[in-house]
Structure 1
Amino acid sequence: MMRGESLPRAAAPFLGFARLLRRHAFAVAPEQVTSFMQAVTLLGPRSMNDIREAALATLAPSPDRHDEFEAHFRGYFYGDAKPTVEGEEDDETRVKDDRGTREEEKQIARHEKGGELSSALEQLSSRDFRRGADDQFRRRLACALPARRSFRTAHTRSRGTLDLRRSLSEIVSADGDIPAPQLRRRQTVPRKLLLLIDVSGSMKQHTADYLKLAHAAVQGADRAEVFTFGTRLTRITSALRIRGREQALARAAGLVDDWDGGTRMGPTLLAFLSVPRFSAFARGACVVILSDGLERGDHSDLETAMRRFSARAFRLSLASPLAGDPRFRPATAALGAILPMLDDLVDGSSVGSLTDFILSLARPAPAASVIWKRVS
């Protein structure tokens, strides 16, 4: 997004409104902000309604969030009380890239058991990881991921298309003789792998294993990305690129501020999608969400986020430790709402089951709703 100091003072409020929307998980790209300011310039504006219409036309909030957009518009430009939107948490979701600085906040110890670990309250703590990951998984991963055809081409001796430029060059080099035609074929490259790891309190028994798996994935795949989410969203890919496992996991542990805290799954996933650079990671990728899917309260944000992920991703999977129990059924309101959007709902209770699943992503499988309908 453009920097405020390079703009006229009169443009600052409009840039600030766009930033406000992004902080509340609206998908606003830099090009939309530029269009918004240009539209305001063209309109005059003669009234606040002109600014509102320009914002609606260029920032394009989804129909299901028009009421929330109106509340933020009135709160920002008219000075109304801070809008309260149904399903919105008291604290806005914070997005943290692993290139940023760590905020110094008080750490709160947490001692809970069972389902009580699922909470919407933010709790900050730290964690230390000292164990390794599976080297065999790391070696096999690059060849096991689904492949796609790249726009780049490579020289081939057969089953390709004519490379006219190279063929003409060969004819000139051979003084007009016609040698064997030169052929090119589009390359195939592995698809991106995106891991979204739930670090809330209800998942703390599995977080260490998930981080070890994530480190092996980043080391084994060239285009793997890893994020953690709980009450905040944190990108930890750069930390996991460190070859030494203990050092990498220690670095990742220092980046994440919301270990073992509450759960705001829907808002944090929407925050991920609202950042264009992050959202691009999911386009055409194998997206694996490592979470129990326990969403407190209204699950509309989670449903919206999963619908958007499904539209972007090549394959969308939810690995839940609860699915390791033979008695498990996706019977909660949240899981029932997102099940039709999932390609997979699999067992995430052990590293073994997760590695087997990730290494099988290239093989087709029935949709999650079909499989769990048979089980039920």
Structure 2
Amino acid sequence: MIPPKSALLLPQAGPGGALAANLLAFGRLLRRAGLPVGPTEMLAGAEALTAVEIGDRAQLHAALRATMVHRHEHFFLFDQAFGLFWRDPEAGRHAAAMALMEGVTEPAKPKPADRRLAEAMQGDRPKPPKPPEEPPEDRVDMTFTVSERERLQSMDFEAMSAAELAAAKREISKLVLPLDARPTRRFRTDTGGPMADMRATTRKSLRTGGEILDIARRRRVVRPPPLVALCDISGSMARYAQILIHFLHAIANDRDRVHTFLFGTRLTNVTRQLRHRDAEVAFEAVAKAVPDWSGGTRIGDSLDLFNRLWSRRVLGQGAVVLLITDGLDREGARGLSEATDRLQKSCRRLIWLNPLLRYAAFQPKSQGIRAMLPHVDEFRPVHNLTSLRDLVSVLSDPRAGRMRSAA
């Protein structure tokens, strides 16, 4: 038999009975938790329940997951929601009692999706009434008044609080990066294309005994070039790297051919981890793959390793490279000039993003910055949302090519 209903389950309602009402409430819970569950999934789930044994919990779980979940990365969140919603109301109290008997006092570390699921479950509970508010005073102070959104755009990432960082990450997720499209060597069939396709025309004429009745046409395929990001995650860049990875995750899920590498004392390819659409799962995978977060900096060795192992794989077809670092190298710029020069010659544009440019009195005094600066095409700041929006505009300009630009 199916376990007794918990307090979250709806009472008897409508001709469909309690099961239909419970299924509707379960679908709303999944939608609040972030899963794309709509009327189509709800109807498919209801139909699937007619083909399984309702009293078998395993069959109920398999039927609902097969019809209401379409992506593999959503399975974990669905399983957690199913276990919490269709549960025995006494199970939680029994589990707590057994934990006390076994001496378990510290809770396990929550998975990435647990927080969102907990917030979705809280949506079913009535909110406590708010205390009566006192009437506001008739006092208006317009001193230093500024829009909160405008202030967030110009605020330095390093000076943001946790709430402001969360708001900045939401703004970053909305950025679209339409890189200027470039012609490739490939062609595609197009009835209105500017070029005649004689091979396709001859092949079509065989159907009419060699007589040409129509001329096939084609058009050159146009694609945005690959984008390669090399991001410094050393101690001096840790705060900026955390939020810039959100920017790279948004780009990687918006377009194809985006490659991301993180480096501190070693180089790590995190392209596959950032392709996960769920941001929390992607960042947890990145944290597991990167062993040298907030450590030292070996920019020259990292760029040299990238040039030897990865440049031929990812820098083809006019790739654009974003080099995100403050240029402070622990090795004293050993081999840094040669590695940066080779990287610049292997791509179409090398853009150096440096948060130190936020200072108006910035001077390239360190050895690493002086070694790298002659070999980059553009030198730009990256310290707030405005600088990221300016970067998007620059990358989207089809007229931009190799050019030197300082702060």
TM-score normalised over the length of structure 2: 0.54
Distance in 2 (alpha carbons) for counterparts of 1:152 and 1:365: 23
Gap change, CA 1:267 and 1:215, over 3 Å in 2: same
Counterpart CA distance in 2 for 1:130 and 1:259 is: 21
CA distance in 2, matches of 1:287, 1:253: 23
Counting only pairs closer than 5 Å after superposition, residues 21-170 of structure 1 correspond to structure 2 as 134-137=172-175, 140-141=176-177, 144-170=178-204
Gaps of 5+ in 1: 1-128
Indicate the residue corresponding to 2:22 in structure 1. none
Q: Which residue of structure 2 aligns with residue 14 of structure 1?
A: none
Secondary structure of residue in 2 paired with 1:195: strand
1:191-244, Cα deviation, whole Å (9 max, x unpaired): 111111100001112121111111111101200011100001111111111111
Superposition pairs of residues 119-268 of structure 1, within 5 angstroms = 134-137=172-175, 140-141=176-177, 144-268=178-302
SS in 1 for 2:390: helix
Aligned residue runs from structure 1 range 305-344, under 5 A = 305-344=339-378
**Alpha carbons 2:311, 2:346 under 8 Å: kept:** no
Q: Which runs of 5+ in 2 are unaligned?
A: 1-164
Distance 1:365 1:335, change over 3 A: farther
Q: Which amino acid aligns with 2:391?
A: F
Report the 3-state secondary structure (helix = DSSP H, G, I; strand = E; otherwise coil) of the residue aligned with 1:202.
helix
Aligned pair count reads: 239
Q: Does 1:281 align with 2:314?
A: yes
Alignment partners' CA distance in 1, 2:403 and 2:329: 19
Counterpart of 1:115 in structure 2 is none
Are the equivalent residues in 1 in contact too, given 2:229–2:324 (CA < 8 A)?
A: yes
How far did 1:184 drift? 1.4
* One-letter identity of the residue aligned with 1:213: F
Distance 1:303 1:287, change over 3 A: same
In 1, the alpha carbon distance for the partners of 2:264 and 2:331 equals: 15
Task: Give the superposition deviation at 1:273.
Answer: 1.3
- C-alpha contact (below 8 Å) 1:152/1:187 kept by paired residues: yes
SS at match of 1:186: strand
Contact preservation (8 Å) 1:319, 1:354: no
Q: Contact 1:290 / 1:320 at 8 angstroms: preserved in 2?
A: yes
The reply to whether residue 269 of structure 1 matches residue 307 of structure 2 is no
**Amino acid in the other structure paired with 1:302:** L
For residues 241 and 181 of structure 2, what CA distance do their matches in structure 1 show? 29
Residue by residue over 1:259-306, the C-alpha shift from the partner in whole angstroms, topping out at 9 and shown as x without a partner, is 11111111111111121x454213331100111111245324111111
Aligned residue type for 1:136: K
SS in 2 for 1:205: helix
Q: Which has the higher contact order (CA 8 A, sep 6+)?
A: 1
Distance in 1 (alpha carbons) for counterparts of 2:197 and 2:331: 59
Normalising to structure 1: TM-score of the pair?
0.59
What's the CA shift for 1:157?
3.0
Contact kept, 8 Å, 2:228 with 2:315, in 1: the verdict is yes
Change (3 A) 1:351 1:229: farther
What residue number does 1:91 align with?
none
* Shift of residue 330, structure 1, vs aligned partner: 2.9
CA deviation after TM superposition for structure 1 residue 185, in Å? 1.9
Q: Which residue of 2 aligns with 1:347?
A: 381
Change (3 A) 1:227 1:297: closer
Distance 1:342 1:249 in 2: 29
Q: Give the equivalent residue in structure 1 for 2:337.
A: 303
Q: CA deviation at 1:245?
A: 0.5
Give the distance between the partners of 1:153 and 1:315, measured in 2 at CA.
25
CA contact (8 A) 2:296 2:330 kept: no
Contact map agreement 1:146 1:361 (CA 8 A) in 2: yes
Mean CA deviation greater in 205-214 or 164-173 = 164-173
